[in-house]
Structure 1
Amino acid sequence: MIKPLKILAFVCLAVVFSFYSCSSDTSIEGTPVTAETYPNVTATFGNNINLNALENYANQTKPAYINKDNTTVNPITDKGATLGRVLFYDKNLSKNNTISCSSCHKQALAFGDTDIASSGVNGNTTRHSMRLVNARFSNEVKFFWNERASSLEAQTSMPIQDHKEMGFSGTDGDENISALLAKLQNIGYYQELFKFVYGDSTVTQDRIQNALAQFVRSIQSFDSKYDAGRAISPNDQANFSNFTTQENLGKQLFLAAPIFDANSSRIGGGLGCAGCHAAPEFSIDPNSKNNGIIGIIAATGIDIDNTKAPSLRNVTKPDGTENGPFMHTGNLATLQNVIGHYGTINIAPGNTNLDPRLAPNGIGQKLNLTATEINAVIAFLKTTAGNDVYTNKKWGNPFP
Structure 2
Amino acid sequence: MKTKWISFLAIASLWSCSKTDDYVDPYANVKATFGSSIDLEHLANYANQTIPTYITKDNGMANPITDKGATLGRVLFYDKNLSSNNTISCASCHQQANAFSDTQVASNGVNGTTARHTMRLINTRFANESKFFWDERAASLEIQTTQPIRNHTEMGYSGTNGDEDFSNLVTKLSQLGYYKELFKFVYGTEEITESKIQLALAQFVRSIQSFDSKYDIGRSQPQVANDGQPFPNFTNQENQGKQLFLAPPQFDATGNRTGGGLGCAGCHAAPEFDIAPNSGNNGIIGVLNGTGIDVSVTRAPSLRDIVKTDGTLNGPLMHTGVFTDLQTVIGHYGNINIAPGNAVALDPKLRPGGNGQKLNLTAQEVNAMMAFLKTLSGTNVYIDAKWSNPFPN
Q: Compute the RMSD of aligned alpha carbons.
A: 0.9
1:131 paired with 2:123, answer no
Match of residue 227, structure 1, among 186, 207, 216: 216
Q: 1:365 aligns with which of 357, 375, 379?
A: 357
Q: Deviations over 1:3-35 (max 9, x none)?
A: xxxxxxxxxxxxxxxxxxxxxxxxxxxxxxx98
Q: 1:245 aligns with which of 232, 236, 248?
A: 236
**Equivalent pair of 1:141/1:151 in contact (CA under 8 Å):** yes
What's the CA shift for 1:324?
Answer: 2.9
**Number of the residue aligned with 1:345:** 336
In structure 2, distance between residues paired with 1:333 and 1:230: 29
Deviation at 1:298, TM superposition (A): 2.6
Aligned amino acid, residue 90 of structure 1? D
SS in 2 for 1:248: helix
Structure 2: which 5+ runs fail to align?
1-22
Instruction: Kindly indicate whether residue 75 of structure 2 is the aligned counterpart of residue 86 of structure 1.
Output: yes
Report Cα offsets for 1:307-338 as digits up to 9, x if no partner: 00000000011222111310011111111111
1:81-230 equivalences under 5 Å are 81-230=70-219
Match of 1:266 among 251, 257, 261: 257
2-structure distance, mates of 1:109, 1:324: 7
How far residue 375 of structure 1 moved from its aligned partner, in angstroms, is 0.8
Report the equivalent of 2:13: none
How many Å apart are 1:267 and its aligned residue?
Answer: 1.1
1:58 maps to a residue whose letter is A
Between the aligned partners of 1:277 and 1:169, the Cα distance in structure 2 is 34
The alignment of Structure 1 onto Structure 2 pairs a total of residues equal to 367
Identity of aligned residues (%): 68
- Are 2:262 and 1:278 aligned? no
Q: Which amino acid aligns with 1:108?
A: A
Match of 2:383 among 383, 386, 391: 391
Alignment partner, residue 9 of structure 2:
none
Residue 365 of structure 2 aligns to which amino acid in structure 1?
E
Q: CA deviation at 1:37?
A: 2.0
d(CA) in 1 for partners of 2:308, 2:42: 30
User: Which amino acid is 1:318 matched to?
Assistant: T
Larger radius of gyration: 2
DSSP 3-state at the match of 2:258:
strand
Q: Paired residue for 1:25?
A: none
Contact 1:35–1:42 (8 Å) recurs in 2: no
Residue type of the alignment partner of 1:82 = T
CA distance in structure 2 between the aligned counterparts of 1:298 and 1:50, rounded to whole angstroms: 43
Structure 1 SS opposite 2:116: coil
Distance in 2, matches of 1:286 and 1:71, equals 16
Q: Paired residue for 2:10?
A: none
Alignment partner of 2:313 out of 312, 322, 336: 322
Determine helix, strand or coil for the equivalent of 2:126: coil
Q: What per-residue deviation string (whole Å, max 9, x for no partner) do you get for residues 291-314 of structure 1?
A: 101110131111101100000000
User: What is the aligned partner in structure 2 of residue 290 from structure 1?
Assistant: 281
CA distance in 2, matches of 1:37, 1:194: 12
What amino acid sits opposite 1:391 in the alignment?
Answer: I
Q: Equivalent residue for 2:5?
A: none
CA distance in 1, matches of 2:220, 2:24: 44
5 Å-filtered alignment, 1:4-43, equals: 36-43=25-32
Rounded Cα–Cα distance in structure 2 between residues aligned with 1:235 and 1:362: 33
Mapped contact 1:281–1:311 kept (Cα < 8 A): yes
| CA distance in structure 1 between the partners assigned to 2:364 and 2:329 by the alignment | 16
Equivalent position amino acid for 1:393 in 2:
A
**Contact between 2:212 and 2:379, CA under 8 Å: does it hold in 1?**
yes
Deviations 1:340-379 (A, max 9, x none): 1101000000013000100000000000111111111010
Q: What is the Cα deviation at residue 36 of structure 1?
A: 2.0
> For 1:374 and 1:215, how far apart are their aligned partners in 2?
36
Tell me, yes or no, if the aligned pair for 1:324 and 1:334 is still in contact at 8 Å: no
| Residue in 2 that maps onto 1:356 | 348
- The AA in structure 1 aligned to 2:254 is N
Amino acid at match of 2:325: T
C-alpha distance in 2 between matches for 1:259 and 1:73: 40
The whole-number CA distance in structure 2 between the counterparts of 1:61 and 1:101 is 26
Whole-angstrom distance in 2 between the partners of 1:114 and 1:137: 24
d(CA) in 2 for partners of 1:313, 1:299: 30
Question: In 2, Cα distance between the equivalents of 1:368 and 1:277?
Answer: 21
Distance in 2, Cα, partners of 1:172 & 1:202: 28
CA distance in 2, matches of 1:72, 1:142: 14
Q: Deviations over 1:118-152 (max 9, x none)?
A: 00000000000000010110121100000000000
Contact 2:313 2:324 (C-alpha < 8 Å) held by counterparts: no
Secondary structure at the residue paired with 1:80?
helix
8 Å Cα contact 2:99-2:120 kept in structure 1 = yes
SS at match of 1:207: helix
Q: Deviations over 1:148-167 (max 9, x none)?
A: 00000000000000000000
Counterpart residue identity of residue 70, structure 1: N
Aligned to 1:22: none
Q: For 1:313, which of 301, 304, 313 is the aligned residue?
A: 304
Q: Distance in 2 between the 1:84 and 1:162 partners?
A: 19
Aligned to 2:11: none
Provide the TM-score with structure 1 as the length reference: 0.91
For 2:138, the aligned partner's letter is A
Q: Residue deviations 1:237-266, cap 9 Å, x none?
A: 000000001100000000000111111001
TM superposition shift of 1:72:
3.4
